[in-house]
Amino acid sequence: MGDKNLFEEAARLIKQSRKTIVLTGAGISTESGIPDFRSPGRGLWEKLDPMEVLSTGVLYNFPEEFYKVGFKILSSMRNAEPNEAHYILSEMEKEGIIFGVITQNIDNLHQKAGSKNVFEVHGNTREGSCLRCGKKVSFEILEEKVNKKQIPPCCDDCNGVLRPDVVLFGDPMPYAFDLALKEVKSSDLLIVIGSSLTVSPVNFLPDMVRHLIIINATETPYDYKADVVIREKASYALGNIWDIIKFQ
């Protein structure tokens, strides 16, 4: 099928779906200037080992290492702006076309674009917490302390080590994942946008729905299962699909 037919088929599936939910990965934010993790030749994990830079093992045993490298990756994501794809998903939610967005991203761009039902299954870079007393702090406080070379940053109340509220390799899944699971189970269409679908347990979600649309620049392990696979940039594909839904 040519691109136009793929967009039309995707629009048809979305229009006939009783409940549609979206799953996004780092690929939806590359057009906002944030590198993804696994794009061949450009992904972050080509240069760094995730188990080294963003894992609980390094955070707990070598906090200085964690704050020198991993933390910088988290900070770098915070000053990006949403792109067309984020805004279209926000409009689709407002129009009741999609229920909401499950995101593996920690860049807060869905919320910045106006999405309300956002399930951050890999945490966020808005807050941090104390490992000892659990006190919540803003991410800015973490950044301030790290910039003042307080590494690891420590809690003002109990002097425990502070950590970002991002789900690191080795962390349990957050409650947001339980909520996302519930919503996927009651959906009949999942639209995956910009994810290699290689990290579990999030990559179990495509197995839980009757209909699946994948919009991704490269192939994923779930392409065989999808009703429609669109090998295009997220904003280009979503722009075309949204125009068909609105004007046809």
Decide if residue 218 touches ligand APR (CB under 6 A). yes
Q: How far is the CB of 30 from ligand APR (least distance, A)?
A: 4
Residue 220: which residues within 8 A CB-CB, separation 6 or more? 192, 195, 196, 197, 198, 214
Decide if residue 86 touches ligand APR (CB under 6 A). no
Structure tokens at 93: 């939610």
Decide if residue 110 touches ligand APR (CB under 6 A). no
In sequence order, what are the beta bridge partners of 213?
191, 228
Place of tokens 């030749």: 41
User: 3-class SS at 117?
Assistant: coil
Q: How far is the CB of 120 from ligand APR (least distance, A)?
A: 10
Nearest to 74 by CA among 26, 40, 42, 131: 26
With CB under 6 A as the contact rule, the residue among 145, 233, 238, 241 that binds ligand APR is 233
- Binding segment toward ligand APR, per CB under 6 A, in 88-96, 132-140, 189-197, 239-247: 189-197
Q: How far is the CB of 166 from ligand APR (least distance, A)?
A: 8
With CB under 6 A as the contact rule, the residue among 80, 151, 161, 199 that binds ligand APR is 199
Binding-site residue total for ligand APR (CB under 6 A)? 23
Q: How far apart are CA 50 and CA 47, in angstroms?
A: 10
Q: How far is the CB of 151 from ligand APR (least distance, A)?
A: 23
- Marked catalytic residue, from 86, 110, 122, 211: 122
211 flagged as catalytic: no
Site string for ligand APR, 37-76 (x = CB under 6 A): xxx---x------x--------------------------
Helices (H), the chain: 3-16, 50-53, 56-61, 63-65, 71-76, 84-94, 109-112, 139-147, 175-185, 234-247
Structure tokens at 163: 């950590």
Q: How far apart are CA 120 and CA 142, in angstroms?
A: 20
Give me the active site residues, please. 122
**What does the binding site for ligand APR look like in residue numbers (CB under 6 A)?**
25-27, 30-31, 36-39, 43, 50, 104, 122, 194-196, 198-199, 216-218, 233-234
